[in-house]
Amino acid sequence: MISAAISQIKSELPQGVNLVAVSKFHPLSAIQEAYLAGQRMFGENRPQEFAQKAQAMSQWCLENHCEPVQWHFIGHLQTNKLKMVLPYAHLVQSVDSIHLLEAISSWAKSAEKEISVLLELHLGAEQTKHGLSEDEIKDILAHSDHYPNVRFCGLMGMATNTADESVVEADFTRIEALMGNVSAMFPQLTDFRELSIGMSEDYRIALRHGATIIRIGTKLFGPREY
């Protein structure tokens, strides 16, 4: 069932668009089932669950002599939880404040690592206070050399949670335009090319607005039991 859902969604993705399977609240067995169906990128939004699953899957991959999972962190990250997330993260998609960016930067410096991030644009009216404004994003990128251990890979956004497609369209139009603007403003940032938009209910709209990463949970794993 998970494997059928993965093939279904992958068949809809243009070349160069990646699927992140959002496994939050689902057991390791579901992740392993997806892995065996060829899925390699997984996303989690809570630091402790992220760390536990990353460690368990790394063990599992060692035992089975298979290639490791790419873990994407997609939730709000408090600076006192960095050490649970950064050692395992292939990409931190949800950098939603300058304070968090500074903390990631100094962690990366002392660990002598490079951390890849997406900047999260505050999109959507009601559901979240998290995210950067367009001006903050431009300002960060104008000073990207202040963060030598951070690799800026693109933007992430969550559309307004509504059944009104025109509202979702407007949100994705805005982030797509910002992506175009900042790419033109900062051509020296050659890694800045990912646009992570689209979830189970709106990924088809996201694909029409330049998504390069979609983040799908429910449509792969079924409803979450909170």
Ligand X SMILES: *Cc1c(COP(=O)(O)O)cnc(C)c1O
- Interface with ligand X includes 217 (CB under 6 A)? yes
Return the number of other C-beta atoms located less than 10 Å from residue 117's C-beta: 25
Nearer to ligand X, 151 or 219 (CB): 219
Contact characters 9-28, ligand X, x per CB under 6 A: -------------x-x----
Read off the tokens for 37: 């169906």
Please give the size of the binding site for ligand X, defined by CB under 6 A. 14
* Three-class secondary structure of residue 76 per DSSP: coil
- Interface with ligand X includes 46 (CB under 6 A)? no
Contact characters 106-125, ligand X, x per CB under 6 A: --------------------
R_g over Cα of the chain:
17
Listed in order, strand segments (DSSP E) in the chain are 18-22, 41-44, 70-73, 89-95, 115-120, 150-156, 194-196, 213-216
Nearer to ligand X, 24 or 81 (CB): 24
Determine which helix (DSSP H) or strand (DSSP E) holds 218, and give its type and residue range. Answer: helix 218-221
Nearer to ligand X, 86 or 199 (CB): 199
Contacts with ligand X, residue ranges (CB under 6 A): 22, 24, 45, 74-75, 158, 199-201, 215-219
